Amino acid sequence: MGERLTTDLLVVGWGKGGKTLARALGSAGRRVVLVERDDAMVGGTCINIACVPTKALVHQAEQRRPEDDPETYLAQAVATRDGIVGRLREANRQLLATVDAVTLVRGEAAFTGERTVRVTGGDEELEITAQHVVLNTGTEPRLPGIPGERGPRVHDSTSIQHLSGVPARLVIVGAGVIALEFASMFARFGSAVTIVARGAGILPDEDDDVRTSMEEALADAGVSILPNAEPSRIDDGTIATVATSAGELQAEAVLLATGRTPVTAALDLAAGGVETDARGFVQVDDLLRTSAERVWAVGDVNGGQQLTPISLDDFRIVKAQLTDAAGRSRADRTAVPTTTFTTPPLGRVGMTEREARERGREVRVGAKPVAKIAAMPRPKAVQETHGIIKIVVDAQTDLVLGAALHTVDAQEVINLVALAMRAGVTATELRDGIWTHPSSTEALNEVLGELR
């Protein structure tokens, strides 16, 4: 029998919500144990394999000049990426290591009973019993079940970040956010990219004009989209061959960007009384409580939006319960903005025009290609004029219902629009706002001045 440990709070997994909760409660003197099974994931998914490293690669790809050798440039870009990740990982380690009340444990955790887990690390075992448990184990790439998907030329969104060279041809299976970001990125690194979309195309929930804007930007970067193409197998030899219902594709590398699945298999959740849904995500209510008493799940593992700011908001929700404070619930979330980091990025918040009309809303719409917005010279100054600005406004109240910003700086401007929606700022007030010049925010003056 190994050692035994009792604690006030046990956090399983070093994600955004869990690590922030551990630091906050530990700094307040509460005894906290945080368990992480993988040194390469210290700090969580965002800083190690997702948000930060991929956006660093996007930036590097955008800076590449035609005369830059693709192989050398990619190697340098990956080295830059790894340097950023290493520094962030160590900073995250220090944020908790310097809090006396926080104990960091390396190993694989599995429930053995009510709020009790056994952590295994090599030949050592540690049994931890806690008053409160927070699950924060995140997600990992999901394989679609295509024969041949585990070949050496087949990658997921993690492994493709360390390719040893630029593939002359890259086939991406999937048409979601991850697929689009890597397609845009690798096209600029020098690959001929083909997106294999199982459905009718990319961005199925978007309005047609926004989808067309993205398709045009990708096409101009050298990305092809193959719609309604169901992959049936991957033959991974000297060249990978992807067989689809629309024909065969050959490539030096294949990326499977077909979603993510929760990291719960090793936890033995049933032993802890924690229920999951049909996809394996931990079931929670609006306060993020699981089916087990005093056990919460935060971040991607609970099946909500897989976004770092959502995980941070999960922290706020659970912290309030652990400190007996009035707090938030998931029901409080409104106008949550997102960004797809293609070049240029696509910021999105609220309803599309189609969704608003389907809900019976009377709307006015402002939509204009970025290249034709005279009041917004910034895209011209930075030589990236692809895109569209589209804003949907309630005709009765003059409140913004939603927006799609496919433009330079979308990841920043979309936050302003989201704040306006939450604060009840009218479209007229945004239209008449005084913004810095030249900036992408200035598009609001012109696009909202042409509502139809």
Q: What is the mean pLDDT of residues 58-82?
A: 97
Residue-wise pLDDT for 240-294, tens only, equals 999 999 999 999 999 999 999 999 999 999 999 999 999 999 999 999 999 999 9
d(CA 402, CA 348): 8
pLDDT at 2 over 80: no
Q: Locate 395 and state its tokens.
A: 């005709």
Peptide bond into 152 cis (omega under 30): no
pLDDT 10s digits, 126-167: 999 999 999 999 999 999 999 999 999 999 999 999 999 999
> Residues 226, 229, 233, CA angle at the centre, nearest 5°?
120
CA-to-CA distance for 262 and 142, rounded, in angstroms?
9
Q: Do residues 13 and 36 lie in contact, with contact meaning Cβ atoms separated by under 8 Å?
A: yes
Res 1: pLDDT? 52
Q: Are 348 and 414 in contact (CB under 8 A)?
A: yes
* pLDDT band, very low/low/confident/very high, at 343 (cuts 50, 70, 90): very high
Q: For residue 431, what is the DSSP state?
A: H
pLDDT, position 237: 86
Axis-axis angle for helices 51-63, 70-97 (nearest 10) = 150
Query: What pLDDT shows up at residue 123?
Result: 87
What would the mean pLDDT of 193-214 be, rounded to a whole number? 97
Domains detected in the chain: 3-139+261-332 (3.50.50.60), 154-258 (3.50.50.60), 338-450 (3.30.390.30)
pLDDT of residue 159: 98
Calpha distance 18→104 (Å, rounded): 12
Q: What token pair was written down for 227?
A: 């719609």
pTM: 0.97
Query: Residue 51, SS3?
Result: helix
- The residues assigned a catalytic role are 437
Q: What is d(CA 196, CA 89) in angstroms, rounded to the nearest whole number?
A: 34
Mean pLDDT of 33-42: 97
Per-residue pLDDT reduced to its tens digit, 344-360: 999 999 999 999 999 99
Are the CB atoms for 4 and 120 separated by under 8 Å? no
User: Average of pLDDT values for 66-71?
Assistant: 96
Match 């926080």 to its residue by tokens.
102
Mean pLDDT of the chain: 97
pLDDT tens per residue across span 358-377: 999 999 999 999 999 999 99
- Predicted pLDDT at 78: 98
Q: For a pLDDT cut of 70, what percent of the chain falls above it?
A: 100
